[in-house]
Amino acid sequence: MAVCEILTEGGDIIIKVAEYSNGDYVIKDRIDKEKAHEIKKAIADVNSMHVELEIIKPLTKAYTSFVDWDTLDLFEVELRVSDFLFKVVSFVDRWNSYLKRENNDNTHLFNLFNKKLSEIYDNNIEYRIVYNLRNLSYHTHIPPFTDAVQSLYGESKLLLNVNFFIDNHKKMQGSFRTELKNDYLRTDLRIDLAIKKTYSELVKLNDLIINNILDDRRPKGLLKSAFEILKFYNQYNEKDEAEIILTNFDPSSGPPYEMDQIMLPYNYARFISSSFSFNIKLEGEIVGISPTLPFIKDGEIFTGRQKVTYDEIDLIRVLQSKSYSKNKYFAAYFVDGLRDEDYLLKLKSAKECSKQFMNG
């Protein structure tokens, strides 16, 4: 990612906004010095999370590569399963290394990470399978599955025979060996489902740690900077997956062999923005609508608008629940300007939160 100096021509700012896709630059606009400074500051703020946001990427890449396993030949399936197993270990090691290195004076996050990781192990047979399967693959180089069913119309399954697992994994933890013998000896383990569940749990863990780090940095304006990036990107982007850059390139002057440019860190801004949620839980009589966020006064609830601005950040309500019999109101707001799939992912946790509150 290039770093751009203030670009001038005869003392006047000439920074342009360009859409870059498949090697082509399309100049969309010119921006003045004040706006350029504002966006560059937002870019610097968001890029300050570069190291943390990159930690999960190899694991995500390995999982994404695995998900279409039922269309591949079995040798390739073996490679992709093994890659995922090793990326799980790498993910854990990278977070532990980072948290030790960056938080010498504060062990809270390091302890939180390992506490939650232990809970994932204790509460999920799928993670215990993946953990032990990685150790088996590392020490013996035995294929990480014994059977595969690849079906165009039925359910595809990637299976591991339990007896095979026990017999070949000599260094398996005693408690896990006993668990397999007592509860799973007559069944085959679903490796495909174990990988899916493990990835889901590690994504939740990653988000938890990222959110704790963001909580320390949000007072410094990180969320607002991420929102500014989203707005700026959405204003100029017309092609899916296109990059938006600030540049001094002029298409009329020929190929851009040498030019200053800054690429908008859209995906970082999107992740930071999607990590923010504002769940509002109120108990009282619902009597009216607030022009801003929902609030309660003297036991009376005023529900909010679907779109509001809070602390200079545009928010959108993606869920609200009302119970007139229980006098309860719940609303979930997220940063406006994200993609539909971002809201769909967040909606699941919002519904769970609403259900717990309404039924509590």
CA distance 349 to 322: 17
Share of the chain above pLDDT 70, in %: 89
The confidence score (pLDDT) of residue 106 equals 65
The confidence score (pLDDT) of residue 251 equals 53
Q: Which amino acid is at 46?
A: V
Average of pLDDT values for 325-354? 92
Q: Residue 219 — very low, low, confident or very high, per pLDDT cuts 50/70/90?
A: low
The confidence score (pLDDT) of residue 262 equals 82
Q: Is the CA virtual torsion 296, 343, 116, 192 positive or negative?
A: positive
Q: In the chain, where does DSSP find H-type helix?
A: 33-47, 50-54, 57-66, 74-102, 108-123, 125-140, 162-168, 174-179, 191-217, 222-236, 266-274, 340-359
pTM over 0.85: no
The confidence score (pLDDT) of residue 70 equals 93
The confidence score (pLDDT) of residue 307 equals 95
Q: Residue 2 — very low, low, confident or very high, per pLDDT cuts 50/70/90?
A: very low
**Does residue 170 sit in helix, strand or coil?**
coil
Average pLDDT, the chain: 87
Distances (CA, A) of 223 to 21, 34, 133, 184: 27, 20, 39, 47
The confidence score (pLDDT) of residue 3 equals 30
CA distance 325 to 80: 53
Answer yes or no: are the C-beta atoms of 226 and 233 closer than 8 Å: no
Answer yes or no: are the C-beta atoms of 100 and 106 closer than 8 Å: no
Domain extent listing, the chain? 8-50+221-262, 54-215, 276-359
The confidence score (pLDDT) of residue 33 equals 81
Of 38 and 4, more confident = 38
Of 110 and 5, more confident = 110
**In this model, does residue 226 exceed pLDDT 90?**
yes
The confidence score (pLDDT) of residue 299 equals 93
Of 241 and 59, more confident = 59
**In this model, does residue 13 exceed pLDDT 60?**
no
The confidence score (pLDDT) of residue 27 equals 77
Beta-carbon contacts of 138 under 8 Å, excluding residues fewer than 6 positions away, are 86
The confidence score (pLDDT) of residue 4 equals 32
Average the pLDDT over each of 36-40, 74-78, 180-184, 255-259 and give the range with the smallest value.
255-259
Tens of pLDDT, residue by residue over 237-296, are 876 667 887 776 555 555 544 446 788 899 999 999 988 888 999 999 999 999 999 999
Best-predicted range by mean pLDDT among 11-20, 192-201, 232-241, 256-265?
192-201
Q: Residue 6 — very low, low, confident or very high, per pLDDT cuts 50/70/90?
A: very low
Of 332 and 12, more confident = 332
**In this model, does residue 8 exceed pLDDT 70?**
no
Tens of pLDDT, residue by residue over 91-126, are 999 999 999 887 666 688 999 999 999 999 999 999
The confidence score (pLDDT) of residue 15 equals 65
